[in-house]
Amino acid sequence: MKTQKKFDGTKLYTHKIPKRVRGAMKQFTQSDCYLVKRRRSGKTSEGKYRNCHTNVAYWVEHIGGESVDGWMLQREKGLLNNGWWSWAFHSVWKTPEGNLVDVTQNPLHEGKTHITFWKDKTRRVNLVDGISYNTVFVFANQRIAEHFSIQTNQRVQPSKVYWASMSNMMVKRVNEISGEFRLLTAEYPTNIKLLKDRTGLEIVDDNLFCPKHLREVETSADVLFDFCLSIEKRAA
């Protein structure tokens, strides 16, 4: 029996992914998919949710090893069961011993021993300037692609990778934009200022704040992707 190759002791999982998704993601990442073990106890299991990049950077700085970037499958049954494969940009920790582990808490993986992680050969998070990547998705069948196209008035096809806005309701082809977005946390005041200059939006207590004199914020699709925003209109 042919042995499945491994990456740093981690089980290869590419062959388990549906063909239409597998081919698109391999071309997009120039790499493979793996099952990566989750840390479920001890200090290295306490990484803050939605803070994977800095969680990993902390352990690299304090213990050693390195950060490995790629795409974590978002295991939402409502999406997967209908052929909607959504992947969030994610960092895992390669320990000094050479093992890949996930050190970030995630309610979608509660009780799970592993995450499905697609390594990316070229894309890296930039924690100096605060730049990461928007989510991507691939539709595994024509039915879900047609449904999405009708609901959003955006033509999409199965077997293609698309950049997705935070709400998942707006897409860009991977060759339209880089997919990068600017992190809007206190560590990156330049990004926060750029957001305000372009949209009038401010960050207050880690939340988006719209000044009272702006009843509506008109944002282009580019802004939603550039800052990974999801803006809903509210009644005055």
- Give the helix/strand (H/E) hosting 33: strand 33-38
Mean pLDDT, residues 98-109: 94
Mean pLDDT value across residues 162-187: 94
d(CA 73, CA 137): 9
Between 141 and 7, where is the model more confident? 141
Q: Is the pLDDT of residue 213 over 80?
A: no
pLDDT at 229: 82
Confidence (pLDDT) at 198: 86
Alpha helix positions (H), 122-215: 142-152, 189-199
Average pLDDT over residues 3-8: 58
The reported pLDDT for the residue numbered 203 is 74
Helix (H, G, I), strand (E, B) or coil at 116: strand
Give phi and psi for 232, each to the nearest 5: -110, 140
Give residue 3's pLDDT.
Answer: 40
Of 157, 130, 6, the C-alpha closest to 57 is 130
pTM of the model: 0.90
pLDDT tens digit sequence for 180-195: 999 998 899 999 999 8
For residue 2, pLDDT beyond 70: no
Report pLDDT digits (tens) over 83-103: 999 999 999 999 999 999 999
Give the pLDDT confidence score for residue 46 in this predicted structure: 93
CA distance 34 to 19: 16
pLDDT, the chain, mean? 88
Share of the chain above pLDDT 70, in %: 86
CB 76 within 8 A of CB 133: no
3-state secondary structure (DSSP) of residue 191: helix
